[in-house]
Structure 1
Amino acid sequence: EYFRNGSTATTTDWKVNPIPEDLLTRRVEITGPVNSAKMVINMLSRNESGSRADCAMLDFEDSMNPTWDNVMNGFKNLSEACDGTLQYIKKNKSGAIEKIYRLNPNDMPVIMVRCRGLHLNESNITVDGEPISGGMLDLAGSFYHTAKKLIAQGKTPKYYVPKCEHYLEARWWNKLFSALEDALKVERGTLKATFLIETLPAAYQMEEILYEYREHAAGLNGGRWDKIFSDIKVLKYHPDRIMADRGTIDMKKHWMDNYVKRIIKVCHSHGAFAMGGMSAFTPGKDAATRKEQTDKVIADKSYEAFIGHDGCWVSHPYFIEYAMKSFSRKNQLDVLLEEFDKYPDLAPQGGTPRTIAGLRTNIRVGIAYMQGWNAGNGCVSWDNLMEDLATLEISRAQVWQWLFHQVKTDDGEKVTCELVSKIFNEELDKIKEEIKDNMFAADDEAVKRVIASYEKAKKDAENIFLSKNFNEFLFTQNELV
């Protein structure tokens, strides 16, 4: 529910501190894991068609498995990226250098960092025997290693904060921002942040959240995938809120459309940016698939620009130029949506379709993602989509909800643990055949190793999906070294 308490945040005419010049154009932001030097270089470089994003969000969160090595590599890559010296050396099987990937420090997007949320602890650093916040480590480490060098270059230290659920969380983060600035003797308000509004509680409190860190605010972002996960999670026990197939929940649903329009209205009324969501495609292998994907990206981003967003996210460099075409101006801070009700209906609605095909998609994503996770990765390219932890969370939450309510699919089949296990086995068999087809030139031992990794992933994912107890988050801490 909305707070109707007449607070300063919701009833007075306040503004965020002025947005720095280098943050006034954010038409397309590309995102990816900060621990991969090659991916960081690709995000910070022009693609084959000569396009590049305005900004690049280097991620310690949903697209990165937070192993200690990955976290440390993330700090290294971030520091070298800010210096413009980051490189990646590709070698062949014999160890000979095939290619060296380098940055062009004079032609790079604005660098941003997303830290982990407050639900994720860093197990490898403790204070008084308790693990510290992973997000605190990510933010403090990134700021310590890069803030002064960015400021010396005339650039702004910029961050994304995920998973916020309450304005008091934003107040806590704002205190941390100020403490870091004071510790490095940096002027208050230099650090800028964008909070992701990607939980159902935060959708009702976004104005209060923005107010709490107004001194450091660059804007808010509509994190659509985690928002869908949060919708299912928060309303999981409500029989009238059983969600349709995950693939059918898009921005055309009235509660999703209202939520992003509310972001635009709230942000622009206070002088902050309102960033749109992610297009999670990875380019298909054939021209017809790429054409279909491109048309969907253009339609999605054109609508985001039409309603007033200042920019959007993509997950792959291929789609930058198509997303960019939708945003013809450097920003749209003047779009105020004056006729739109600031307190719209945000309650997610249950509905159909609920299909076996949708169940299969969730299960297939579970197997694929866990195979990547077990290999130390936080995102996987699968079935022409970039799947990260948020999309796995949607999949396992939806299967849990359908099992809990003993849902019948549209063709009358009851969703049971036995049915879920049966589909896990069937999807694993399909994946095995795909592996054999794709690795036809590889030796038998290599094929066996890959198949074994998916067999383990299937077992892990099945245990997660069939758990009787629903965990609020799948992972709340990383592994000890």
Structure 2
Amino acid sequence: MSTSALTHRVRVLAAPGDRHEEILTPAALDFVGHLAAAFGERRLDVLRERRRQAIRLAAGSPLDFRLTTSALRADRSWRVAAPAPGLTDRRVEITGPPDRRMTVNALNSGAHVWMADFEDATSPTWEHVIGGQLNLLDAIERRIDFTTEAGKEYRLATVMVRPRGWHLDEEHLEFDGRPVPASLVDFGLYFFHCAQRQIDAGHGPYFYLPKLENRGEARLWNDVFVLAQELLGIPRGTVRATVLIETITAAVEMEEILYELREHSAGLNAGRWDYLFSLIKTFGHRTDFLLPDRAKVTMTAPFLRAYTELLVRTCHRRGAHAIGGMAAQVPGTDRAAHEAALATVRLDKEREAEDGFDGSWVAHPGLVPVCREVFDGVLGDRPHQIERTRDDVEVTAADLLSVRRISGPPTPEGLRTNIAVALRYFDAWLRGSGAVALYGLMEDAATAEIARAQIWQWLRHRVVDRETVLRMLDEESAALGAEYPWADVDAVRALFERTALARELPAFFTPDAYTRHLIRPAEAQS
């Protein structure tokens, strides 16, 4: 790595762990330090702009496609880079945390792509952050066994890494007296150790980018990619990144986001769960954005149809992949429930494939065959359907915001489910599990965010009363303690009250929970 010397060095504040020295090498830490020095202040600017935008929208400023970039959207000449090796056919993608078991299961699942998720599916304990990096390195170095007892060697999925979002810090690493942005830690350590190894294996360093809210945030990531490639002598344009469109403000800047990342773009993904959370968070103060029970907000709702069809049209007119949303069902042992789950997934994937998506997500290896079968039926031998430009689609900002057409009062069952899911997920997250099977679904941070945000919104607009919520909270807290005697029910309940029952809705539950419960500096462990 040829670069100027750092004025400050990255300090590791956590106690050493098993094999951590393989990841936290002086050179790797210096690489992360160069990224922090170059982009730390711009990242803070991003967070300040998010707050300003939230204030403007809460004050009544309209959300619409930008007039200042209308010429860019009208210009049909520009396209993103051609698909990189291993990313041409993405008909089935599986997601999950980069722990040892998921690494083996995902890479052997038969999916074309595995998204190793340091964000919503990972509880970011220091052991998980560094352990995940070790698992990815071991997988690339073939230090994990991918051969069955019968001697069959599986076709391994292409790896894409989702770093944590711009809003999160990594408190166990310090640069210039401040925590290093978690996104730069996850990206930087993986890129330093695995980028060239992935290139040598015939693929490349590929990423998913979460929680982006506008084109400026995409430009920041693009600049990170440019510098990272320059520092390690990797040709510019080798990196590829798919952006999750999971905020309402990003939905009106899809083309601009593709444009900013065009030399590094691998398309867009319909991050449906966080998208619903974003709608509540952005417009929760308005009665016309009240949502009914989460289970009743399906992808056939008009505002969600507008969102997904706009995403396909935007991607395909620019030569980019459009990847569908998560199938979160967990196949069970009960035959009837198992068949019902597969039927639900099949219908969802049929809609996506027929709408023009080039692939889709599943959360469980057992869902890979049905997703692949559906997309095989539409794609055949073609690797994608980017040629379907969907010029028939016309979507306005009003279409994206037409939530009131599905509004309805929450049911007692919906309220209780949200409380139960939030409490059980918070408990699992605080104990180190970021992806949890609950009531037949694989829940992650995004679904927990929806659950607590809906409760906050219903309380704000008095469609449920506080006494009912507190009564159910008492009952579900007691049930949690009985079901999991080791659970810290007081901590879980306090987290729920701070993030769901407060006067103002916290932007995310994760920063508060991380700061209070997951940070363990070396002196605290000695």
Give TM-score, length-normalised by structure 2: 0.81
Once residues 448 and 316 of structure 1 are traced to their aligned partners in structure 2, the CA distance between those partners, rounded to angstroms, is 28
Amino acid of the structure 2 residue aligned with 1:335: R
Deviation at 1:250, TM superposition (A): 1.5
Q: 1:145 to 1:106 in 2, by over 3 A?
A: farther
Q: Give yes or no for the alignment of 1:357 onto 2:413.
A: yes
Q: Give yes or no for the alignment of 1:377 onto 2:433.
A: yes
Q: Give yes or no for the alignment of 1:469 onto 2:504.
A: yes
Once residues 448 and 389 of structure 1 are traced to their aligned partners in structure 2, the CA distance between those partners, rounded to angstroms, is 23
Deviation at 1:469, TM superposition (A): 2.4
From 411, 424, 440, the equivalent of 2:473 is 424
Q: Where does residue 337 of structure 1 map in the other structure?
A: 390
Deviation at 1:6, TM superposition (A): 4.6
From 84, 93, 116, the equivalent of 1:20 is 84
For each residue in 1:391-447, what CA deviation from the matched residue of structure 2 results, as whole angstroms up to 9, or x when unmatched? 01001111001111111xxxxxxx2222111011223444566x3xxxxxxxxxxx7
Q: Where does residue 95 of structure 1 map in the other structure?
A: none
Q: Is 1:38–1:101's contact at 8 Å kept on the other side of the alignment?
A: no
Q: State percent identity of aligned pairs.
A: 37
For each residue in 1:18-67, what CA deviation from the matched residue of structure 2 results, as whole angstroms up to 9, or x when unmatched? 11242110001000011x10111111114xxxxx1111000100000111
Q: Where does residue 231 of structure 2 map in the other structure?
A: 183
For each residue in 1:148-180, what CA deviation from the matched residue of structure 2 results, as whole angstroms up to 9, or x when unmatched? 011111112110000000100000000000111
Q: Is 2:329–2:441's contact at 8 Å kept on the other side of the alignment?
A: yes
Q: Where does residue 93 of structure 1 map in the other structure?
A: none
3-state SS of 2:242 partner:
strand
Q: Give yes or no for the alignment of 1:205 onto 2:286.
A: no
Deviation at 1:136, TM superposition (A): 1.1
Amino acid of the structure 1 residue aligned with 2:417: T
* 1:59-458 equivalence runs, <5 A: 59-86=117-144, 107-328=155-376, 329=379, 330-343=383-396, 345-350=399-404, 351-407=407-463, 415-431=464-480, 435=483, 448-449=485-486, 452-454=487-489, 456-458=491-493
Q: Where does residue 112 of structure 2 map in the other structure?
A: 54
3-state SS of 1:209 partner:
helix
3-state SS of 2:208 partner:
strand
Q: Where does residue 43 of structure 1 map in the other structure?
A: 106
For each residue in 1:203-261, what CA deviation from the matched residue of structure 2 results, as whole angstroms up to 9, or x when unmatched? 00111011001000010000000000001110010012111111111111111111111
Q: Is 2:92–2:371's contact at 8 Å kept on the other side of the alignment?
A: yes
Deviation at 1:106, TM superposition (A): 5.8
Deviation at 1:468, TM superposition (A): 2.0
Q: Is 2:499–2:506's contact at 8 Å kept on the other side of the alignment?
A: no
For each residue in 1:353-382, what CA deviation from the matched residue of structure 2 results, as whole angstroms up to 9, or x when unmatched? 411111011000011101101211112111
Once residues 193 and 258 of structure 1 are traced to their aligned partners in structure 2, the CA distance between those partners, rounded to angstroms, is 24
Once residues 417 and 123 of structure 1 are traced to their aligned partners in structure 2, the CA distance between those partners, rounded to angstroms, is 35
Paired residues, number: 444
3-state SS of 2:160 partner:
strand
Amino acid of the structure 1 residue aligned with 2:67: R
Deviation at 1:341, TM superposition (A): 1.0
Q: 1:431 to 1:65 in 2, by over 3 A?
A: closer
Once residues 71 and 232 of structure 2 are traced to their aligned partners in structure 1, the CA distance between those partners, rounded to angstroms, is 31
Once residues 460 and 374 of structure 2 are traced to their aligned partners in structure 1, the CA distance between those partners, rounded to angstroms, is 42
Once residues 134 and 366 of structure 1 are traced to their aligned partners in structure 2, the CA distance between those partners, rounded to angstroms, is 24
Amino acid of the structure 2 residue aligned with 1:272: A
Q: Is 1:84–1:105's contact at 8 Å kept on the other side of the alignment?
A: no
RMSD: 2.1
Give TM-score, length-normalised by structure 1: 0.88
Q: 1:179 to 1:469 in 2, by over 3 A?
A: same
Q: 1:473 to 1:343 in 2, by over 3 A?
A: same
Q: Where does residue 97 of structure 1 map in the other structure?
A: none
Higher helix share: 2
Amino acid of the structure 2 residue aligned with 1:73: G
Deviation at 1:126, TM superposition (A): 2.2
Deviation at 1:386, TM superposition (A): 0.7
Once residues 67 and 115 of structure 2 are traced to their aligned partners in structure 1, the CA distance between those partners, rounded to angstroms, is 35
Q: Is 2:306–2:395's contact at 8 Å kept on the other side of the alignment?
A: no
